[in-house]
């Protein structure tokens, strides 16, 4: 194993795992400009001082991943250290801007499986209702976990969130939206609003991805379906960078 310094840009909503209780796919860029996917990470089960957030700079010991994707690394989760949080957009841009692809096709052409893609326009935010209950397979995993260990409640998000958007080459995409932030936003908004989905749609279209923002999506593919990409996170500095402004 060797140690790497990584700016965290991506955290997906947790998924149930019998081996790790649950896992979060983490993405980020090293201080050498190389993109990484850290998996598996049981983020909520790490110590409080290790539970990193988006735009935290961490160090972690890693070794090559097992899924065949070149950016994947298996982390030693006990080695994770949080060094700082980048609050200023200018600092975030220094880490990220040089690696932004103009299109998803360009990214795939270079056989990259995670990284930022430029967004020309976000056309729609879609929330397709799904079952509010876990699937049979997921329930079986939960029962196995409860037999051997305690676990933290994990709320099922009853929507398939998607973003319809054009990349820098004006190619339109309809993409799964799996970022930690979208799941957490729904959990908060459904307690506060009569129509949380409409409020979320307005927030993403008019605020987070508004016309005053220079948007890129952090894209990542699926291990089992290499040509299927999802939006794992959003990079949205103001077009005129305000260094005092923060994201989440």
Would you say 26 and 10 are in contact if contact means Cβ atoms under 8 Å apart? yes
First to last CA, the chain: 32
Would you say 2 and 62 are in contact if contact means Cβ atoms under 8 Å apart? yes
pLDDT digits (tens, 9 = 90+) for 145-176: 666 667 788 889 999 999 999 999 999 999 99
pLDDT digits (tens, 9 = 90+) for 68-113: 999 999 999 999 999 999 999 999 999 999 999 999 999 999 999 9
Q: What are the residue ranges of CATH 2.40.50.730 in the chain?
A: 2-89
The rounded percent of the chain whose pLDDT value lies above 90 is: 79
Q: What is the pLDDT of residue 148?
A: 62
pTM of structure? 0.92
Q: What is the pLDDT of residue 147?
A: 62
Would you say 6 and 29 are in contact if contact means Cβ atoms under 8 Å apart? yes
SS (H, E, C) 84-137: EECCCHHHHHHHHHHHCECCHHHHHHCCCCEEEEEEEEEEEEEEEECCCCCCHH
Tell how many helices (H) and how many strands (E) occur in the chain. 5, 12
- CATH top-level class of 2-89: mainly beta
Q: Which among 168, 155, 180 is positioned nearest to 231, based on CA atoms? A: 180
Alpha-carbon distance values, 168 to 79, 129, 196 (Å): 38, 30, 30
Flag whether pLDDT at 243 surpasses 70.
no
pLDDT digits (tens, 9 = 90+) for 21-31: 888 999 999 99
Flag whether pLDDT at 36 surpasses 80.
yes
pLDDT digits (tens, 9 = 90+) for 170-199: 999 999 999 999 999 999 999 999 999 999
């Amino acid at each position: 194993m060797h140690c790497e310094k990584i700016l965290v840009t991506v955290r997906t909503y947790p998924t149930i795992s019998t081996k790790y209780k649950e896992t979060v796919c983490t993405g980020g860029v090293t201080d050498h400009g190389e993109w990484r996917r850290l998996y598996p990470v049981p983020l909520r089960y790490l110590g409080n001082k290790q539970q990193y957030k988006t735009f935290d700079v961490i160090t972690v010991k890693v070794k090559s991943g097992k899924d065949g994707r070149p950016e994947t690394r298996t982390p030693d989760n006990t080695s994770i250290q949080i060094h700082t949080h980048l609050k200023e957009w200018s600092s975030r841009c220094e880490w990220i801007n040089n690696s932004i692809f103009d299109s998803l096709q360009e990214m795939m052409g270079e056989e990259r499986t995670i990284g930022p893609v430029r967004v020309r326009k976000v056309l729609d935010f879609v929330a397709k209702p799904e079952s509010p209950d876990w699937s049979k397979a997921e329930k079986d995993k939960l029962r196995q976990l409860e037999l051997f260990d305690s676990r933290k409640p994990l709320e099922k998000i009853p929507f398939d969130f998607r973003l319809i958007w054009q990349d820098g080459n004006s190619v339109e995409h309809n993409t799964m939206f799996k970022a930690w932030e979208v799941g957490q936003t729904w959990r908060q908004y459904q307690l506060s609003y009569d129509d949380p989905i409409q409020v979320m749609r307005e927030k993403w279209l008019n605020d987070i991805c508004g016309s005053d923002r220079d948007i890129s999506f952090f894209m990542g593919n699926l291990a089992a379906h290499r040509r299927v990409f999802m939006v794992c996170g959003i990079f949205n500095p103001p077009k005129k960078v305000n260094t005092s402004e923060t994201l989440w």
